[in-house]
A and B are shown apart, each in its own frame.
Chain A
Amino acid sequence: MSSPNITKVTSHISHNESLIFERSQPGRIGYRLPPLDVEAQPLAEIIPPEFQRDDDLEGVPEVSEVDVIRHFTRMSTWNYSIDLGMYPLGSCTMKYNSRLNEKVARIAGFANLHPLANEEDAQGALQVIYELQQHLAEITGLPGVSLQPAAGAHGEMTGVMIIRAFIDARDGEGASANRRTMLIPDSAHGTNPASAHLSGFSVKTIRSTAEGFTDLDHLRELCGKGNVAGLMLTNPNTLGLFEKNIKEICRIVHDAGGLVYMDGANMNALVGVARPGDMGVDVIHLNLHKTFSTPHGGGGPGCGPCCCTKELEPFLPVPRVVKVESGTGDGSLFKLDSNHPQSIGRVKAFYGNYGMMLRALAYIQTHGHDGLREATEAAVLNARYIAHALVSDYDKPFAAPPMHEVVFTDKRQSRKGAHTLDIAKRLIDYGFHPMTIYFPLIVSGAMLIEPTESVGHQELDQFIEAMRSIAREAIENPELVLNAPHSTRIGRLDEAAAARKPVLRWKPKAKADAA
């Protein structure tokens, strides 16, 4: 097979946008402030010269407003985004971000509100927090809620610290010191063990069965050692399978004196259909930037609320937002409540990523109870449709019907040299963002596909067609796949070289040469 001779055209101006520092010209400005309207004092009288900067902010760019607009607009064209098309990243739930939610977050009464304003002057903001807490409690079946954690991993840390605080209180410091093991399935997100470690637990890994479920025998064996504080479980798990033995799993852990933490990354499969609280789960985190559609923003901000049982509620972070008085209409009174001596403490300054709470509440309100369930149904239907369509072309390692995401492997394609990474890169040429690759770690060459409810039948078919076409190419013309992508501004970057001699910032020419 010969390599296709595709030469890239990079003459378009937007393809050559340099770093802003390379565009900077002394004396250019892109802002104007009103002139100083108070009598100026010599600066040295306000701040002694030895406390002042002496580098005149050298290196900070000097550009005009239109320079900035063009700079960012051009760079933006190098990004894929949900608004452009399907983003089938498994366990990431990349769904449509409603513009209405963006508008809500920008309402002046919220955007211009200082977090240290008096409670009585911020009642509307507290009401939003309270109402969202109520809805998330209903959706998860877990009544205690804190919206303070800023992202999923932060919510995990919070949840695991709650487990630790509960066990310390229940068993007493001495006895609880022997209960410092957190069980985590081998299919879990890497944040799970990292969060457990941060809370002072050592991690024991539970095997998955050949069918893709938590190995109950292994779980029983590990629970029999008497040192188990808890289990961190994703459900549906990261293979996209609902842990059908979840009640039994929770019972085993509870009988062993441990608690069950659920990673809620995959809640998009369950909202309105089943509730973790009803399954025996003690504490869960949600990702508002996944399930509740707040934008992912190229890597955050997120929001990782923690929901727990009544029993664990005293351990939630403070301050908590409570309703102290029910009034009619807007007459209710809300308060910040820090009087919880058993609380794990504060996990973030102020109350969390508030702007994301506004967007998530708007999402829940625009969908309504029916819409929330329908979104779940469509998300699962879409994943099942892909699972059904691609099974003839790709190895599907688990037979059980998937929920909202499905895992395939590169087993068939890799025989001719095309691996998961190559398939993912080739998908870019077809106009799709790649799926999650090489995760979960237990599946060799994993491709985890989560379409979400935000794609229609036609786009699903296009995606399936693209995947089938790549499967054919992998056999008939593997070079095409191995050298993909061919349609992007740059080709595959040498990541190994980048890590060997990291260049993590721009430096002025002279200094860079000297270094």
Chain B
Amino acid sequence: MLKQIGLNSVAELFHSIPEELRLQRQLETPAALSEIELIAGFERMAARNSAAYRSSFLGAGVYSHYIPTIVDHLISRSEFFTAYTPYQPEISQGTLQVIFEFQTLVCQLTGMEVANASMYDGSTALAEAVLMAERVTNRSKVIACGAIHPEYLEVVRTYVQHAGIDFEQLDFDSTTGQASTSLAAILDDKTAAIVVQSPNFFGCVEDVSALAEKAHAAGALLIVAVTEAASLALLKSPGACGADIVIAEGQSFGVPLSFGGPYVGLFATREKFARQIPGRLVGQAYDKQGRRGFVLTLATREQHIKREKATSNICTNEGLIALAATVYLETMGRRGLQEVAEQCAQKAAYAARRIAGIEGFSLPFSAPRFNEFVVRGPGPARKLLDRLAKGNEINGGLALSRYFSDRPNDFLVCVTELNSRTEIDALIEALTVG
């Protein structure tokens, strides 16, 4: 081939790079490994992740749920996972129809009118929602109410730091664990949006409808964040509560923990804001013979056309994970999603009852909960959880001191349909012994 293009050596291919810039040595990366060596190496590293092999009550934005076998099977089809973004609709109808179904399912679950093709994850979706609220209202203040995932708040702060948005935080009520509804002091005509997470970071279900009323009375939007999407099947939908933008982390829908990603951000809003949505949208279209198909649409919002005036810089999103979520939602279906949600709520309620009965343990927050709750132990939670991990092979939950230095004894416990009664009882026993 070299000869055919008139070159004598491979080195000549790179003559357009000035010689002083060409690397004159080998890269100092490892020599090539065979499949056998490679797998052995990764298995060795994986074995050092002892937390992955224990029974677990860790949640806090990332949840262990049952994943039907067919999810991984279907997303492993070449036609899906080795395809590019569906810019050529005639040969991308598979991906496009999946996204159209995904958008529909997101609308159904959130109770909203339009949803996009996905965001990177819940945290960046929230940041984009805040930016969108500023665009829609032309107002600059955004109020985060109550216990929102601390890492989400960090991401929002990064995104808004140069956007001229005044991002304020209103603390939670220390008795209920819910957002304080006394917003009067800061909610004003400069407020673009109120942000609330429900269930919140402590697992407490918020009174979303009440916050929606307050926001709307001030001419502001209500942004609802959901980190445990499984709750959507049981709790009143954010849309029905009056939310204007709903974002969620979709990891609960058939996506493995995978040390924090890739996950999938859900983004839904009212129809009247469709042209302000960040990211890709798939819409229905017809060919000349009247056959229905799907295309990427309303692209004039996007960076490849609008450049610096785009609604977002997002391009690649989370297509394959949105596919996983779509397969999950369709496999579990209407009744499966309800059963998962009810089992989560029942098992968490059982665990909470039992833990509250242990000498020295209490539940500091009174609000209704879905599948997560804060436990106050008799001593430092970090120490207690270490003992459970090392002595009982249980990930007992998340020590809140990771994010809240004033809560040394509190830890967050999550129970899902995957935690059997035997596991829950073993947790109770391990806590009791201490």
Residue of B14, B80, B282, B350 near A297 (CB, 8 A) is B80
CB distance from B144 to the nearest CB of A (A): 15
Residue of A69, A104, A273, A351 near B259 (CB, 8 A) is A351
Quick one: closest B residue to A502, CB to CB? B283
With contact pairs A31-B331, A193-B307, A344-B158 given, residues A504 and B283 touching in the complex (Cβ less than 8 Å): yes
With contact pairs A490-B287, A505-B115 given, residues A242 and B335 touching in the complex (Cβ less than 8 Å): no
Contact between chains at A295 and B158 (CB < 8 Å): no
Interface centre among B159, B291, B315, B350 (most CB of A within 10 A): B315
Residues of A within 8 Å of B94, CB to CB, are 75-79, 298
Contact between chains at B319 and A55 (CB < 8 Å): no
Contact between chains at B93 and A75 (CB < 8 Å): yes
Q: Number of A residues contacting the other chain (C-beta, 8 Å)? A: 191
Residue of B98, B258, B307, B332 near A110 (CB, 8 A) is B258
Contact between chains at B274 and A502 (CB < 8 Å): yes
Question: Which B residues, 321 to 362, have Cβ-Cβ distances below 8 Å to chain A?
Answer: 321, 323, 327, 329-340, 342-343, 345-347, 349-350
CB distance from B344 to the nearest CB of A (A): 10
Residues of A within 8 Å of B272, CB to CB, are none
B433 at the interface (CB under 8 A from A): no
A1 at the interface (CB under 8 A from B): no
Contact between chains at A498 and B297 (CB < 8 Å): yes
Interface centre among B21, B56, B149, B338 (most CB of A within 10 A): B21
Residues of B within 8 Å of A424, CB to CB, are 88
Report how far A503 CA is from B53 CA in the complex, Å: 45
Quick one: closest B residue to A382, CB to CB? B1
A13 at the interface (CB under 8 A from B): no
CB distance from B179 to the nearest CB of A (A): 14
Residue of B16, B43, B93 near A400 (CB, 8 A) is B16
CB distance from B413 to the nearest CB of A (A): 13
Residues of B within 8 Å of A364, CB to CB, are 29-30
Quick one: closest A residue to B309, CB to CB? A197
Quick one: closest A residue to B75, CB to CB? A297
B276 at the interface (CB under 8 A from A): no
Question: At the interface with chain A, which of B33-41, B132-140, B169-177, B185-193?
Answer: B33-41
Residues of B within 8 Å of A221, CB to CB, are none
Contact between chains at A103 and B39 (CB < 8 Å): yes
Report how far A490 CA is from B91 CA in the complex, Å: 9
Residues of B within 8 Å of A485, CB to CB, are 90-91
Residues of B within 8 Å of A488, CB to CB, are 90-91
B281 at the interface (CB under 8 A from A): yes
Residues of A within 8 Å of B331, CB to CB, are 30-31, 65, 68
Quick one: closest B residue to A484, CB to CB? B90
Residues of B within 8 Å of A21, CB to CB, are 101, 104
Residues of B within 8 Å of A63, CB to CB, are 330, 333
Contact between chains at B307 and A190 (CB < 8 Å): yes
Contact between chains at A490 and B333 (CB < 8 Å): no
Contact between chains at B162 and A198 (CB < 8 Å): yes
Contact between chains at A115 and B308 (CB < 8 Å): no
CB distance from A456 to the nearest CB of B (A): 10
Interface centre among A59, A112, A242, A370 (most CB of B within 10 A): A112
Question: At the interface with chain B, which of A148-156, A306-314, A410-418, A474-482?
Answer: A148-156
- CB<8 Å pairs between A and B, sample of 5: A51-B205, A203-B308, A301-B318, A355-B262, A493-B295
Contact between chains at A60 and B297 (CB < 8 Å): no
Contact between chains at A433 and B314 (CB < 8 Å): no
With contact pairs A128-B45, A493-B286 given, residues A121 and B389 touching in the complex (Cβ less than 8 Å): yes
Contact between chains at A365 and B5 (CB < 8 Å): no
Contact between chains at A299 and B151 (CB < 8 Å): no
B23 at the interface (CB under 8 A from A): yes
Residues of A within 8 Å of B18, CB to CB, are 244, 246-247
Contact between chains at A81 and B316 (CB < 8 Å): no
Contact between chains at B323 and A349 (CB < 8 Å): no
Q: CB-defined interface of B87-101 with A at 8 Å, one 1/0 digit per residue?
A: 011111111011111
With contact pairs A153-B315, A348-B121 given, residues A388 and B158 touching in the complex (Cβ less than 8 Å): no
Contact between chains at A33 and B66 (CB < 8 Å): yes
Contact between chains at A60 and B334 (CB < 8 Å): yes
Residues of B within 8 Å of A110, CB to CB, are 42, 46, 49, 52, 258-259
A2 at the interface (CB under 8 A from B): no
CB distance from B116 to the nearest CB of A (A): 9
With contact pairs A114-B51, A122-B49, A494-B285 given, residues A53 and B237 touching in the complex (Cβ less than 8 Å): yes
A116 at the interface (CB under 8 A from B): yes
A462 at the interface (CB under 8 A from B): no
A296 at the interface (CB under 8 A from B): yes
CB distance from B312 to the nearest CB of A (A): 7
Report how far A357 CA is from B117 CA in the complex, Å: 23
Residue of B154, B257, B309, B370 near A112 (CB, 8 A) is B257
Report how far A380 CA is from B53 CA in the complex, Å: 45
B217 at the interface (CB under 8 A from A): no
